[in-house]
Structure 1
């Protein structure tokens, strides 16, 4: 089963705030333990049993808390920050899993891969000496990564010409955009939010503006592990009619937080994609949208991380070299009180893993084209021609290319031309060959006239599956 992946780095779950607490000296291990006990006693989101504060080591103390509380040395903290940095050494491509390896779904402008001639639709079947056939996505992408400046040889199957080619490209440090957007077939706007960093809301507004007057939106939060709570509130401010964002429950207080309204908002129906790796801030957004019926959720139940963490610096006098304590300080719920932690947010429409975008795109098209569904077709990969048979003779003089629309579900529209081959049959020639394991929709719009002059009143949809 293929899975669309918008990036090659998955962010961890974070809600970061820095307290203004100070201590005046370089600390011994015993002093560090005392301060860990102090933070737990005063800030942990639950009252702890006395035995927790009686442990003799920091690690033994942390082990008594929830899974998201963690003590990190300065070196571990630096590594942690590096791990969530929005950049990676790679070749600058977005990929999805394919039966043969990795299919290229987009290429970053300015990347060496683009200059080397790699194309969208290419399928990378081998990286250097490593075959990618049957290799899981998470493992396959590691072969593309490596030391900056090193070269990698890609063996590529190019369906557009039905040939194998070799592409040699250089690895480089690439800044991964927080927001990725494009226009799908049928004028549906697609926006993938990869992390709730400080620029996410403003980048999403730019995406909305650049997409223009679309017929609907698909917002993708799959594999989004979270980020800043303020950003989650701003992202919810992109949606209309969301009175509240989340309900926060700390040890001694509770609070309802509201969205931060943004100047640019979604103005058409929104579908939201989620999966089991959507966590933390992603779940906060998904839960609010579900509560207020502001979007239709597709996918699988989310991860179930409904808690917030705060970073406490242990040695404030030496913050550049200090250990830190990441401590859970609160639990959050949906605005209407639905529990998220260890439960997750369920979708409205459950799909198989990797089918979320396909189903959401299809449903968006079905809302636009309320057409009769005809029997599905099954085709082989590489096919470039389809024959459409009408029930009555067609007046060929009334036919136009605009009558036929061929869309890859989860992708873009594929240009085509047509040829009348009989009174009732038309041959469609596609500009691109059909891809293995992909699904397409052919729409026949009600524009043609029959020989007796009657206009075809109904539109038709034919699903084409490729084996």
Structure 2
């Protein structure tokens, strides 16, 4: 294999907006809204309603709230979870999402059918450590129902200062009872690329989102791994909610030959524009991309581009399915209107919205990968019965300490399994799961999953075959 060096591509950078979530998801140009006066007949009814309430309501009204409510009503009428109006405070939080860091739980969310749904937790975030998963519905925040709220309103409640606690009530698909998930907020750094060498010259590179510095981070990581003998790349886009469009174009251009399509954009009149690879000194090196249901938006652009324009194999699960483009426009007072302007399609013209991208090899993770977090503050002990006990039993079995049952009842055999686990980990042996024992149990499950990551294993196997055929 020839030596190569990843070269940073130079692009005209346009400021790009984030999505209707706690972190960057959507994309588009940002400009100021024209503040010229409107004198149109269709607004007469709106003006009349404002004057009627302002002058005749039995209490004095907040005029700003009326105006904000009217704009919210127009946006809600679009029935589009990716279009949103943000007040001054909400817009400020929105813009912070593309900075170098922010404080919160680190989870991408969106509104779906009146519910706030987790798109994906950010790697290493409190949300990930707490066990939040894609498609979890957030029912309440600190006991307050958020059903019917916009994603921006929900973000305002969920975010908070580092070190403070927030408790989410979660409804997970396939589970009857809601889960109470306590999370300690933290600073969420926007580090987006993680690389490591596996074996036989195969490198795993994970991109967690497409932020301002992602291309630079990726090139530095690839150059470092090349120096360690990289012969093939597993590009991990799992739990990647997307981000800045320009970053997706730059990174796709590293792997898609110059002049080939990365994606297409279609406007409301059906006019299409092709976005082509900028070209790069891209290496002739085998690549396999791993996706899952948390791979959305810009990560789907990259996956679709390499699949259809560079014949790259996709492994994992069907992606999220977000095929629209948004633009954010700031008002003079600092509030913000974000709305969908176009749809994007794969190089071959496929619109993946609400459908997702199917992998070439569908591979699921072990069942224990979807287990929720256990609250370390709760004591799980002999004769107790709860959904948390059931989860603990499943975790114990996954790491080789069979509790004898998995129905949520803590019996003598479950206690014995806990005691054996505690002894093996040099913990206090009392047969009670709480505090450090609970934390250690969850850590062991995460470590077990890292060792038995079936999706990465399949991608590596495909790469080995490709390398062997060279």
Q: TM-score, normalised by structure 1?
A: 0.50
Question: More strand by proportion, 1 or 2?
Answer: 1
- Structure 2 length normalisation: TM-score? 0.49
Structure ranking higher in helix proportion: 2
Q: Which has the larger Rg?
A: 1
